[in-house]
Amino acid sequence: MSTVNDDCQHSVTPSADYPYATERYPRSDPRYALCQAYSSLVEAQLGYQVFNCKISPLQEWGYNVYLYLLDARRDLGDQWLRITLLSDRNHPMTALFEQALAVHPVEWLDGRKINPNGVLVQDFKTCSVSYALERAAPRIRELVSRYPAVTFDIQWNTSFYLFFSTTSEMGRFHHNDAPRFLEQMWAALKEFDNHGFFTEVNPVQVILDLQDHYDTIGGRNYFNSDAMAGAIRLGPGE
């Protein structure tokens, strides 16, 4: 059985996943025909818009199939994350891959089994928006520096957080400065929009909160915690 060297850079951080998600197999790679056939089946039979498909080894016994939908939340709804943790081998996503594999076999997959969780569906829009936000961060932080009331800022996936010392300062920024800041931020992000996600609206959410709320719980434990109960959310699209 042949082997393959595949430097899979898949990551739980959407922006870190961008180079791997956008890399395309050359026609000489046997995975090219398989991924093309599989993507066509998904689009034709399930109606989802596929951006890319990648296949990488999983230890010595198996392999992962990453299906990047252009906009998974649009196609699959709020429950799309459940598709990332498939337990049903008969789910259409996995069944269609096995159908394509039967027509376009890949030698080094012989004897290997697909990840027990099935096909791993990824949201390319989240990946791309997070990547643009990361690339535009220096410009955005230069914009932030124009507002002395902002004590701290941080990017988290497709959101950008601004922290303030007091509720009154946060309120003044919200009512007086936020519209202009969002407009300038959108302009900076557009420079790194390679896939048209920033054409009509800004998909990045700006979240305003108090520095004390972040400091109380600290680090990544803050995000999506009860500490964010009083945060002000701007966007997407505002």
pLDDT in tens, 71-105: 888 888 765 555 554 445 667 888 899 999 999 99
Confidence band (pLDDT; 50, 70, 90) for 138? Answer: very high
Residue 78's pLDDT is 63
Considering the chain, what is the average pLDDT of its residues?
A: 85
Q: How buried is residue 204: exposed, middle or buried, by Cβ count under 10 Å (0-12/13-18/19+)? A: buried
- CB contact set of 159 (below 8 Å; sequence gap of 6+): 204, 205, 206, 207
Percentage of the chain exceeding pLDDT 70: 87
Count, in order, helices (H) and strands (E) of the chain.
Answer: 9, 8
Report which DSSP code applies to 204: P
Instruction: Look at residue 24 and give its three-state secondary structure.
Output: coil
pLDDT in tens, 16-52: 789 999 999 999 999 999 999 999 999 999 999 999 9
Confidence band (pLDDT; 50, 70, 90) for 5? Answer: very low
Instruction: Look at residue 136 and give its three-state secondary structure.
Output: helix
What is the rounded end-to-end Cα distance, in angstroms, of the chain?
A: 54
Domains and CATH numbers, the chain: 14-125 (3.30.300), 146-234 (no CATH)
